[in-house]
Chain A
Amino acid sequence: MIRRFRAWGRIVLARLDGWFNSLYTWRYNPLYHSGALVVGCFVILLFTGLYLLLFYRIGSPYESVGNITAQWWGGRWIRGLHRYISDMAIVATVVHAARMFVQGRTWGPRALAWMSGVVLLGVFFLCGWTGYVMVWDVHGQVLATEGARIMDALPIFAGPIRRTFVGEEALPQAFFFLNLFAHILIPVGIALVLWIHVSRLARTYLMPPKPLFWTMTGLFTLVAIVWPIGMAPKADLLRLPTEVPFDIAYGFWLPFTQQMGPGWVWLAVIAAVASALLVPALMKPKAEKAPAPSWVNPRFCTGCEQCYHDCPYEAIDMIRRDDGREGFVGFVNPDKCVSCGICSGSCAPMGVGPPERTGRDQMVEVKAFMEEASLGGDDIVIIGCFHGAAGEGIREVAGAKVYQISCVGSLHTSVIEYFIRAGVGGVMIASCPPRDCWNREGVTWLEERVYNQREAELKDRVDRRRLRIVYAAEAELSVLEREVASFRSQMSALDRALSEQNIEIDVACVVPEVSVGEEIGA
């Protein structure tokens, strides 16, 4: 059932992605940047929080927040921004988690990121809880008393915590001091867990693109000005709170828990957290279906370090050779490798990659594809990544045959060269948008190899006019069809492509005793 739910979610997400791309372009599609938006929110919360801290008084919490709110020139909108952005942080976190879940990016080496993400969400909730209690209005009162009721179910306290909130006398300053201390300390914990969250990623991008970040900041500032947060009635422990301005993002659980005994609440919390933490185990495919990690063939490895630099997950190390040759050899750590195959595209001598997806395997495949498809000088071939518009199951788009590859980042440039030298009219590489690359940097490295001479580069002799890289998300088939039509029109202005026979692909740094020709059966 969980897999069916995931498949359904993926369809919904793909449609939403396509729709948002049409409105905001893939560069600024907020769904693609959900994780970075959370960090952006965190930064805004830090700055606005520092300002609010200047005016907050633990001796008169409600009154001091009231004074802040009365500052029409500053505190009023900064408090509103702080609160609205804290809700945005939760929304973006949930979107990010849902995205990772439906895309199946939760298990194996990614399990650490998933589980630390669950912890991050919990810490965010805790931070929000202390923030609302700080104000000590009726909403803070409800959160505090309900939290105390639930905590009292734990057999670790000498007396009921609820007695703190009986209304016998004013709450002591120490309570608000501890609360403030927690509200300031928890963000340090958030930063620490965030560090763990991204610890397995190379070249992490934490902040969203500046236009997106400033648009988000500007919009929420605008809303904070035109729709400011007012002051709810002051907490009064001798009155039951009735109409409470209630934050759904942080207090959605209140209407449920108020109907439940604290023991049941704990059971529900434990069940929810355990389910979330079990996702990596539940989503992990069976061993025979799980994609195998990359491996390095030491015979072909020249120790150039390119795979080590290109791996988006820092799964490749360079270790000293033990086969009598000088220098270093690549070593793939299978515990970190997600089998993205980007190393296949980074290795000029085709000596690394997941089994059956190395550059050598691709050359064998492309030869077979050409023989079967019998493409000519007027034809366009689309090299489509699994997760883009020419993804799994798509065989042809607007009359152009589709040759599929798990990720365009794993595409060896020799495959492009082979197609063009074999006489195909044009090669269109249909990738998912860079910010949605399931392997983080696939299309980035492909472009570098094609246009900027990054190692394992596309040779200068290949006519770039017969090549186009297109970004089209899963639901953007129409975008791809338009691009094919446009590319075909561009091709018509060129001379008919000539087909070479017995194509020899030069491979740099090949060890003398083995030629690529032998390996791929050329």
Chain B
Amino acid sequence: MSAARVFGAGLAIAMTFAVAWLSRAPTDFAGDGDALIRLSWRVDGVTVEACETLSEEELAKRPIHMRNPQACIGTIAPFELVATLGGQTIVHDTIWPGGIRGDRPIYVFRDIPVIPGRSVLSVRFEAVVPEGTEVDSAVSRLTWEGEIELAPDDVALLTMDDHGAFVLRTPGPAASD
């Protein structure tokens, strides 16, 4: 067998290994050893109705079955999300309802990289409604505060249970509420 053939065979084997290496190149995706606080929940939101009392003339223009003196348009109020960790604000944002018309539920999803360690997390999620609007405070203002301890690369998930109450999930032992 000629030297070229031997070299060719060796090269073929080397190229095969090179392609196989493509499949398994170790890569560090986290890198900096941060932990993560993930805020993720869904709420139906708080509907705020803007009503207008129609005049006699306006009512007269309408068919009989549509002569309701009050014309109301309901919109879902945005929510203000504020989260602090050890007293430092890590999120301060307004969350708008989903959908082009803003009439879909409100979804919250935030991944916030934090320095690992033990700290107090405080979250407030509150509907932004016009002053004087009466809303059910059980759904319009949600809060959670508790101590969490995160190791590097841990993810602490603050979410909601089926009853609309905040619940924290961590990879290690659950943090105290």
Chain A interface residues toward B at CB < 8 A: 22-24, 83-84, 86-88, 91, 142, 152, 155, 158-160, 162-163, 166-168, 215-216, 219-220, 222-224, 227, 229, 236-249, 254-255, 258
Q: Mark B161-174, 1 if CB is under 8 A from A, else 0.
A: 00000000111000
Q: Are A91 and B22 in contact (CB under 8 A)?
A: yes
A242-B40 contact in complex given A160-B107, A227-B20, A236-B171, C-beta closer than 8 Å = no
Say whether, besides A229-B23, A240-B30, A254-B29, A159 and B105 are in contact (CB < 8 Å).
Answer: yes
Contacting B169 at CB < 8 Å: which of A23, A158, A238, A248? Answer: A238
- What is the CA–CA distance of A163 and B158 in the complex, to the nearest angstrom? 12
Residues of A within 8 A of B100 (CB): 155
What's the least CB distance linking B45 to chain A, in Å?
13
Q: Which residues of A contact B101 (CB under 8 A)?
A: none
The interface of chain B, by Cβ under 8 A from chain A, is 4-5, 7-8, 11-13, 16-17, 19-20, 22-31, 34-36, 38, 40, 42, 98-100, 104-105, 107, 109, 153-157, 159, 169-171
Measured between beta carbons, the chain A residues less than 8 angstroms from B105 are 158-159
Find out whether the CB atom of A243 lies under 8 angstroms from the CB atom of B28: yes
Contact A23 B153 (CB under 8 A): no
Query: How far is B109's CA from A168's CA once the two chains are assembled, in angstroms?
Result: 13
Q: Are A240 and B36 neighbours in the complex by a CB distance under 8 Å?
A: yes
A88 touches B19 (CB 8 A): yes
List the B side residues contacting A162 at CB < 8 Å: 40, 109
Using Cβ atoms and an 8 Å threshold, which residues of chain B touch A237? 155
Known contacts A87-B19, A243-B28; A168 and B13 CB within 8 A of each other: no
Contact status B26-A246, CB under 8 Å: yes
Rounded to whole Å, the gap between the CB of B166 and the closest CB of chain A is: 12
**Measured CA separation A162–B159 after assembly (Å):** 13
Of chain B, the residue at the smallest CB distance from A84 is: B20
Supposing A23-B8, A223-B17 touch, asked if A239 and B109 sit within 8 A by C-beta, the answer is: no
- Whether the pair A87, B29 counts as a contact (CB closer than 8 A) is no
Closest to A218 in B: B16
User: Are B12 and A215 neighbours in the complex by a CB distance under 8 Å?
Assistant: yes
CA–CA, A237 to B36, complex, Å? 11
Q: Which residues of A contact B25 (CB under 8 A)?
A: 245-248
Give complex CA distance A155, B107 in Å.
Answer: 13
- B171 proximity list for chain A (CB < 8 A): 236, 238-239
- Least Cβ distance of B66 to chain A in Å? 31
How many angstroms between the C-alpha atoms of A245 and B25 in the bound complex?
6
Q: Give every chain A residue within 8 A of B16 (Cβ-Cβ).
A: 84, 216, 219-220, 222-223
19 A-B residue contacts at CB 8 Å?
A83-B23, A84-B16, A87-B19, A91-B22, A158-B98, A159-B42, A159-B105, A163-B109, A167-B155, A168-B169, A222-B13, A223-B20, A240-B29, A240-B30, A240-B153, A244-B29, A247-B23, A247-B25, A248-B25
Since A163-B42, A239-B171, A243-B26 are in contact, a sample of 14 more A-B pairs with Cβ atoms closer than 8 Å, ordered by chain A residue number, is: A166-B157, A167-B157, A168-B157, A219-B13, A220-B16, A223-B20, A238-B157, A239-B153, A240-B154, A245-B24, A247-B22, A247-B25, A248-B22, A255-B27
